[in-house]
A and B are shown apart, each in its own frame.
Chain A
Amino acid sequence: MRIAGCLVAVVTLFLAGGGFTLACWRGTRSILLAELLGLGWMVGAGIVSLLLVLGGLAFSGPVLLCGVTALCLLLGLVGARKIQRGLRVEIGYADARPWEKWLGLLLLFPIFYIGYASFRDAMVFDGLINWEAKARHAFLAGGSLPASYFTDATRAAYHPRYPLYLPFSELWIYLWAGDCDQTLVKILFPIFYAAAILLLWSSVVRLTGRVWAATLTSLLPIAVPLMADHGFGLVQGYADFPLAAMYLAGIGALLAWRLKGLEAGWGVAVICAALLPWIKQDGILLLASLLAVAALVHGSSQWRRFVIFALPGIAIALFWRLAMHWVHAAGEPGFQPVTAGTLAQNLPRFGTIVRFMGDRLSTPRIWSLLWYWVPVALISLGWRQRRLALWLSVAVFLPLVLDIPAYLFTALDLQFHLNTSFDRLALQISLVTVLCLGLALARPPSAEPPHSAQPAEGT
């Protein structure tokens, strides 16, 4: 029964996200199956977690479960109607050669490997006590976290203010399974990984039209230790990889809208931007970075459209901040007062922080050679497409720059804070760095040779 309940939870979550994505899809261009599956999962987790939070204010237990399930099914129906009305779902293989299609099968390997690793490794530290614990506590309390959870000063170190995207996705499994089954809940992690891989694949296909390049690019994360199962990441229940996937989806959709005229890309990017601060507090920095890229992409002539683009993300970030303020959530140990005096006092930390960042990003046992190739890829792209290279440079490096003030003002021991957090902050932008490499691989420096494949739909 537990497994059946878990499957229902997974399907309803996907129906909610897939239906919502289809409902928001604009224009005449078809949606790629990989986009639908990837966005369906990533957005579905956001919708279900938000519905559980809002529904939990008034309902609990079976009523909450049935209500949210009904809304998921309704969204699924709305999506199905959109397909009935003529929105096409394509595999994206229309112009692919047979060997490219077979190559796509290789993508099953990293997904199965992450599935194996998730069930092999324990959920530890943040994955357990910061994230999964929220799901467990909410399950034991009938489906929502009581205000006392947020105000309990003895648990302030477990970050009660962290948003509930991942924990309430786990809660959704618990509610359907009828128990806090910590083994069963790990089914989420390979699905998040698969969603990320599909979004990476579809972003490269959208932007270059080359299926083989998209497949090779999507295989790359499994070869980067921290993006696979080394250190603390997805398989240990951390939220940074889902955050990376959402950031990638937002950047990819925004670029597809601007460069390839994919009308629906704009709406998808808005949804992804909105969900960034709902996945993790650090998501606010990624939201700021995505908005910076969006500002460049929109240009001064489309500033009104840019304001609309920014509003949902800012609204969700503000909603959670105000909610935590209203419940008097326990403060988190962490930062010194942000004043000119503190800044002047801590300025000597700057060199240490930048050196540490450089050291870590260039450590092969963490990142292999990924970060060595990123500047090369950006220069290579800039050779022919300066704007694309500029936008991607902002998307990759601005989050790193925005991390620096957090370390300048940290109240923790600087070295300890850097050691325990920087790799994960870099992990949040890692999928966009892989996208840079994929675009560099797919784009030749000069005109195509006569026998190359034509770009697929959407390019």
Chain B
Amino acid sequence: MSTKAKFHLYRLFWLGAFATIVAVSAPTFGRPKSAVALEDFGRDGSVNSTLDQTLGEEKCAERITTWLEGLPPGRAILLVADANNNRAGVTADLIPYLAWPRPVIVSYDPQKAGREFAGARGRYCAVGFCYFMPPQGAPMSKSFGPALSFVAFDSQ
């Protein structure tokens, strides 16, 4: 086989290799499939729109931030969230994000959360329940949609 023929065969082989890579992924191009349900996140991907989406009300991020600013500074919040709910996970990730620099302890363990709640008054300034049924008789101070509510022990 001549040098030129070898050269062209070689190039064709690698162009074919590139083509196989394109061909295999072509059916899924532009249609990403994520491990999580991206519909749980807001349309523009911001925290504002995501919380509006997960909590079902408008301007949640702004309202939560304002409410958190009214709590005594420095003291931590306990947030109890449903471990088996995607939206609870997304929301629970965003509360510490909004609450910074206030410490937020997120608990996905309902038994531990129940025990913590019993002795929470001295340790936390508020306890939040995210997609999680609060203990019966807990005096709810503030709700952000049906899925997130807080008990504040003392506000400024």
A residues neighboring B (CB under 8 Å): 113, 117, 119, 121-125, 128-129, 133, 136-137, 140-141, 146, 148-149, 152-155, 158, 182-183, 186, 216, 220, 223-225, 228-232, 364-365, 368-370, 373, 376, 380, 437, 440-441, 444-450, 452
Contacts and interface: CB of A to CB of B under 8 A. Distances in A.
A122 B17 contact: no
Contact of B3 (A155, A158, A446): A446
B17 A447 contact: no
B15 interface: yes
Nearest to A451: B4
Given A154-B103, A183-B44, A121 B38 contact: yes
B7 A449 contact: yes
Given A155-B96, A224-B25, A441-B11, A124 B38 contact: yes
Contacts of B4: 449-450
10 smallest CB-CB distances across A and B, nearest first, come from A122-B45, A122-B41, A154-B103, A441-B14, A368-B25, A182-B46, A449-B4, A223-B22, A230-B32, A368-B24
Contacts of A446: 3, 6-7
B6 A445 contact: yes
Nearest to A117: B32
11 contacts: A121-B45, A124-B36, A124-B38, A146-B101, A148-B101, A155-B100, A220-B18, A220-B22, A223-B26, A446-B3, A449-B8
B119 to A, nearest CB: 17
B14 A364 contact: no
B36 to A, nearest CB: 7
B3 A186 contact: no
Most chain B beta-carbon contacts within 10 A, residue among A122, A141, A441 = A122
A225 B29 CA distance: 7
B35 A231 contact: yes
B6 A369 contact: no
B67 interface: no
A223 B29 contact: yes
Contact of B46 (A140, A183, A365, A380): A183
Given A129-B97, A373-B21, A449-B3, 11 more contacts: A122-B38, A122-B46, A122-B50, A136-B97, A140-B100, A149-B100, A152-B101, A225-B28, A228-B29, A447-B3, A449-B7
Contacts of B38: 121-122, 124
Given A369-B20, A437-B17, A445-B10, A124 B101 contact: no
B25 A364 contact: yes
- With a 10 A CB-CB cut-off, give which of B7, B24, B35 has the most chain A CB atoms: B24
Given A124-B36, A444-B11, A158 B28 contact: no
Contact of B45 (A123, A229, A232, A449): A123
Contacts of B21: 220, 223-224, 368-370, 373
A224 B26 CA distance: 9
A228 B34 CA distance: 12
Nearest to A237: B45
> Contact size class for B?
35 or more
Nearest to B28: A225
B113 to A, nearest CB: 15
A83 B9 CA distance: 43
A117 B31 CA distance: 10
B57 interface: no
Contacts of B8: 449
B104 interface: yes
A154 B4 CA distance: 66
A365 B96 contact: no
A170 B15 CA distance: 39
Contacts of B34: 230-232
A124 B21 CA distance: 28
Nearest to B103: A154
A158 B106 CA distance: 12
Contacts of A445: 6-7, 10
Contacts of A223: 21-22, 25-26, 29
* Residue of A124, A153, A380 ringed by the most chain B CB atoms within 10 A: A124
B98 to A, nearest CB: 9
Contact of A230 (B17, B28, B93, B94): B28
A437 B7 CA distance: 16
B24 A183 contact: no
A154 B104 contact: yes
A119 B44 contact: yes
B133 interface: no
B42 interface: yes
B105 interface: yes
A112 B34 CA distance: 21
B6 to A, nearest CB: 6
Contacts of B115: none
A458 B21 CA distance: 29
